[in-house]
Structure 1
Amino acid sequence: MTAGLSSLTSLSAKTGNGTASSDASTIAGNFNQFLTLLTTQLQNQNPLDPLDTNQFTQQLVQFASVEQQLKTNDQLGSLITASKASAAATASGLIGKTVTADGATTSLADGSATWTLNPARAATKAVLTITDAKGNVVATQTKALAAGSQSFSWDGRASTGQLAAEGKYTLKVQALDATGAAVAVDTKISGAITSVDVTGAEPVLTIGDRTVALSSVEAIGAAVSN
């Protein structure tokens, strides 16, 4: 009987969101079988060597704990479902709004690509290198950066003077302060949300032809007016 209860414990450990209800039905049936076996043992025990009542008590406690674990799994599954529904509703309300999220890659569209830079402190010299999707350097600019958040826009013009093709471009910033010490610069992207994917564990937002997780969003602005 102990082996049977151990298998029930193993079954409970494997219970997931989609199988909690079916496992609950299974364990209810096994509980009735357990009671039948327990009654049969009591009726047929050897009077000279009676069964240990402590063992029965331990088995009942073990079985009760398995039932409680299954009920907990059911409740957790409901909470997860409610949480996902809430996150999906929140994310869908972002469509059309402008957001700022972590990232160094954005899209060049209509002759413009924009990043948000946030140096840890003022930088007297910052080299901004823009590369295409293949990692080729397209343009390089050198400028000073003030401390705090600021916008950097690229007009799409390559170092050769020609206009770069539309697509994804990545910005890398190497900055130095007045003493020549390196300055860390956080790079973020901004844009309007065009769609939301809620099929995964976390909503994924689409900004142009880029996708970012909802958790990476740091700022939300008003909807873009047409």
Structure 2
Amino acid sequence: MAVSSTSGASNTANTSTANIAGSSSIAGNFDQFLTLLTTQLKNQSPLDPLDTNQFTAQLVQFAGVEQQLRTNETLGSLLSLSAAGTATNAVGFIGAKITADGATTQLNDGNAEWQVNVPRAGTATITIKNASGSVVQTMTKSLVAGDQAYKWDGKTSTGQDAAEGEYTVTIDAKDVAGEIMTAKTQIGGIVDGVDFTGSIPTLKIGAIGVPIDKVKSVVRTN
């Protein structure tokens, strides 16, 4: 009968332990761990006491969990501080002229510009499309080796003025020997806003968004 009573007490202790564990986090209050441990020791069966090795293993396990949870909290705080710092830095880009990898830029006041880089001199067929994907201009242009600017005056193939907005350039380049070569394009413009809705801030050039980690250069215009 005594054994049955002790077993009942053990069951009660287990229920109490579960309630305690569910009411608060171990990481939030280390005294809770001591309460759990004391309750376990008080209610263990005299006929089957807790093995010393098991007791030591529990101590190590609880301590490890406590340390890991606190480490996670610290890392979370550091990430928050880092995000705040990145946001502050992003705001500092407003008013600056930036360049970034890309093929889509804004046509404003009859002017759109891309930076182009090719490994060798040659010629290229340049195609410009509007935001809906329709071709508005196609032309052939000579290219020199290295970096150069390509400016578009906003005139369509029919000689009309294209509407202001987003336009994408495609460059099919060949060197003087007729070999196909890759033309890299970059866009540029004045940052007039910052979007914080994504995982990293996005700099805004009109309607064009440039992730801050894609920026290649920054120039202050004032």
TM-score between the two structures when normalised by the length of structure 2: 0.84
In structure 2, what is the Cα distance between the partners aligned to 1:178 and 1:107? 31
SS at match of 2:192: strand
Q: Which residue of 1 aligns with 2:54?
A: 55
Q: Which residue of 2 aligns with 1:24?
A: 27
- Structure 1: stretches of 5+ with no match in the other structure: 12-20
Q: Does 1:221 align with 2:214?
A: no
What do the CA deviations read for 1:38-93 (whole angstroms, capped 9, x no partner)?
32145x422xx443111111111111111111111111111111111211121111
SS at match of 2:146: coil
In structure 2, what is the Cα distance between the partners aligned to 1:218 and 1:155? 25
| Superposition deviation, residue 28 in structure 1 | 3.5
Structure with the greater alpha carbon radius of gyration: 2
| Superposition deviation, residue 36 in structure 1 | 2.5
In structure 1, what is the Cα distance between the partners aligned to 2:193 and 2:212? 12
> Contact between 2:26 and 2:33, CA under 8 Å: does it hold in 1?
no
| Superposition deviation, residue 35 in structure 1 | 1.4
Runs of at least 4 residues of structure 1 off by over 4 A? none
SS at match of 1:24: coil
| Superposition deviation, residue 23 in structure 1 | 6.8
| Superposition deviation, residue 212 in structure 1 | 1.1
In structure 2, what is the Cα distance between the partners aligned to 1:162 and 1:199? 38
Q: Which residue of 2 aligns with 1:40?
A: 42
| Superposition deviation, residue 158 in structure 1 | 0.5
SS at match of 1:200: coil
In structure 1, what is the Cα distance between the partners aligned to 2:153 and 2:169? 13
How has the CA–CA distance of structure 1 residues 158 and 23 changed in structure 2, closer, same or farther, with 3 Å as cutoff? Answer: farther
- Structure 2: stretches of 5+ with no match in the other structure: 1-13
Letter in 1 for 2:36: F
In structure 2, what is the Cα distance between the partners aligned to 1:171 and 1:159? 14
How has the CA–CA distance of structure 1 residues 69 and 173 changed in structure 2, closer, same or farther, with 3 Å as cutoff? Answer: same
Q: Does 1:109 align with 2:112?
A: no
Question: Aligned-pair RMSD on alpha carbons?
Answer: 2.3
Q: Which residue of 2 aligns with 1:74?
A: 73
Letter in 1 for 2:148: Q
| Superposition deviation, residue 200 in structure 1 | 3.4
143-152 vs 109-118, greater mean Cα deviation: 143-152
Match of 1:144 among 132, 139, 142: 142
The aligned runs of 1:202-217 (5 Å cut-off) are 202-217=200-215
SS at match of 1:68: helix
Percent sequence identity is 47
| Superposition deviation, residue 22 in structure 1 | 6.5
How has the CA–CA distance of structure 1 residues 23 and 30 changed in structure 2, closer, same or farther, with 3 Å as cutoff? Answer: closer
SS at match of 2:99: strand
In structure 1, what is the Cα distance between the partners aligned to 2:50 and 2:94? 68
| Superposition deviation, residue 201 in structure 1 | 2.4
| Superposition deviation, residue 33 in structure 1 | 3.8
Match of 1:125 among 123, 126, 129: 123
SS at match of 2:76: helix
